[in-house]
Amino acid sequence: MRRLAPLRRAGLALAGLVLLAAAPAFAADPPAAPLPAWEQLSPAQREQLIAPMRERWNSSPEERQRMLQHARRWQQMTPQERSNARRGLKHWEHLDPEQRKQMRALYAKMRVLDETGRRALMNQWRDMTPEQRRAWVKANPPPWRRDDAPRD
């Protein structure tokens, strides 16, 4: 094992040199031009942006009402609320399935509590160990999706 250590160090040094040599090529890319406002997009660009939403709409008739409600709610949000929603989504994307399940259960419970109860639950949650959190989620399971499949 010790005989491989110098080879490993040499390999890491070589990889570092390759990255340093390639850095100017990456840095030489010109900055991207700002994209135009919606009104200045070509019909093809607009179609490219709308196509995924059209596909979701057409493939999921049972979800159309929810999609429409989300769109209405988004339009009513202030810029700060939209920013918070985007930040929350980025945070959600980095959670593992167990953490998502915990957050779903916690959110569902908080929806039925008043402000004092929500604060108390959040303080309790922060003080829980991971094992205590798992037990709490088991006692307060998250809601199920409309298709009766457990949420990930």
User: Among 3-12, 39-48, 78-87, 119-128, which is the least confidently predicted range?
Assistant: 3-12
- Write down the domain spans for the chain: 43-94, 96-152
Closest CA to 84 of 97, 94, 72, 74: 74
Average pLDDT rounded to a whole number, residues 13-27 = 52
pLDDT tens, position by position, 105-150? 999 999 999 999 999 999 999 999 999 999 999 999 988 755 545 4
pTM score: 0.55
Rounded Cα–Cα distance for residues 6 and 14 (Å): 12
Q: What is the pLDDT of residue 151?
A: 46
Token duo for residue 73? 């709610």
Rounded Cα–Cα distance for residues 47 and 25 (Å): 33
